[in-house]
Amino acid sequence: MSGPTRARRTRPRSPGRPGAGPDARGTEIEVEVGPVAHGGHCVARHEGRVVFVRHALPGERVVARITEGAAEAKFWRADAVRVLRADPARVEPACPVARPGMCGGCDFQHATGAKQRELKAQVVAEQLHRLAGLDLDVVVEEAPSAGPEGLRWRTRTQFAVDAEGRTGLRGHRSHDVVPLEDCPISTERVVGSGVLAQRFGNVETVEVAAGSDGAPPLVVVTPTPGRHAHLPRLPDASVAVRTADGLHRVSGRTWVEERVTVRGEDHAFRVGGAGFWQVHPAAPTLLGEAVLAALDPRPGESALDLYSGAGLFTALLADAVGAGGSVLAVEGEERAVRDARRSLHGREQVELWAGAVEEALVDEELTARRVDVVVLDPPRSGAGREAVAAVAALGARAVAYVACDPAALARDTASLAEHGYVLAGLRAFDLFPQTHHVECVARFVPRAQG
């Protein structure tokens, strides 16, 4: 990755020249901003050193304040605190704390939605080029908006709690909590739960999940270890406390219901304890339709759904293969498997396994099966080389890989290529507006077929 021209240093705010002492934090430098990088920042260079700059856009000239700057470090981190030459796509952030030194939840509120999608497309393409040796033209598709552009879409938000009991979000790469009165990317129902207006005692985090059935949102509180949580009254929400031995109901339900329509078919899913579910309301439909298009599952086929969660893709596959087909779903979180069992009750062609995907993939009962299509929806870290090799060994005619991290997708793409599978299609969706995150659905087929 090439960088911009050498920048000149402005007058520092803290004593000493950058690099002269043990730490340059607080020093301000003037830089030309280079390309966007994975992680919500752009790349600049100062006196030969790489500087990762947040709150900037490629091509801008900014004054950047060093936030991490050890003298011996190969790179520094910084925030753009003054813009000397702005990109035309720069806008004023909608949130008063989406600014340097404040909340770390949003990376791109200073750019238009179109610019954000352009940047994310560049990141996906760069990661696939660098880690998988592929050159692709990537387009990030806009998701249907639930509110103003890029706002009021997040149906699940985890808030941190500070020493005074106030809820908020942490600063970038920091444990410090920035108290909030509102979170503009969270839905009105999440904010309307009341957690931002209350004080909590002996609590580490407060998670809010608003299901799509219109019921009161679920608030899940995680106490400080070894302490008893003191909870405010939240009349507009269900409340539960999560401890090491499980989830404990305080009021209302300990789960939310999600309703999804894919290809004209309606589905309902129970998601317990603020468990994993896509946070953008349009995501289940968009991803479900993309997975079905990638796999084209046929009646009578055998499907495998790995990291199956609450069973979204499992249900769609079951409908597609019909009563004469089969779907094996594997998920490591037992509560999610229990929820899936309730949601998928009556589908005799579905089998649910609770356990680690890596162990299931080498189980003789699985390796002896015929597998026609596979859904692979791993955590942010990706599936990994061993799991990828095991998936490839099954010989499926198509694999749909759902990825929330471009680098992990690129690494696993390279591993699949080593085992005979090629990337035959890719769609990317902006399911996390205002942040650097992007969701991809990749289609892989055997090399001879591709």
Residue in 42, 106, 404, 440 annotated catalytic: 404
Contact 367, 393 (CB under 8 A): yes
278 is known to lie in a ligand binding site: yes
* pLDDT, position 10: 42
Contact 195, 159 (CB under 8 A): yes
- The per-residue DSSP string of 69-130 comes to -BTT-SEEEEEEEEEEE--TTB---SSTT-STTSB-S-S-TTB-HHHHHHHHHHHHHHHHHH
pTM of the model: 0.93
* pLDDT, position 312: 98
Q: Which ranges in the chain are annotated with CATH 2.40.50.1070? A: 156-256
* pLDDT, position 4: 38
Tell me the Ramachandran region of residue 320: left when phi exceeds 0, alpha when psi lies from -120 to 50, beta otherwise.
alpha
3-class secondary structure, 436: coil
Establish whether 183 is a catalytic residue: no
| Residue bearing tokens 């470090």 | 73
331 is known to lie in a ligand binding site: yes
* pLDDT, position 450: 64
For 156-256, the fitting CATH number among 2.60.40.3880, 2.40.50.1070, 3.30.300.30, 2.40.110.10 is 2.40.50.1070
* pLDDT, position 3: 40
Looking at domain 1-87, which CATH architecture does it have?
Beta Barrel (2.40)
3-class secondary structure, 315: helix
* pLDDT, position 370: 97
Q: Domain 258-267+278-446 is in which class?
A: alpha beta
Among 98, 35, 27, 99, residue whose Cα is nearest residue 64: 27
Q: Which ranges in the chain are annotated with CATH 3.40.50.150? A: 258-267+278-446
Q: Distance between alpha carbon 3 and the CA centroid of its chain, in Å?
A: 28
- Average pLDDT by stretches of 10, the chain with 450 residues: 39 41 88 98 96 98 96 94 98 97 97 98 98 98 88 97 98 97 97 98 98 96 96 97 94 97 96 91 98 98 98 98 98 95 96 97 96 98 97 98 98 98 98 98 91
* pLDDT, position 132: 98
421 is known to lie in a ligand binding site: no
Residues ≥6 apart with Cβ < 8 Å to 166: 177, 179, 199
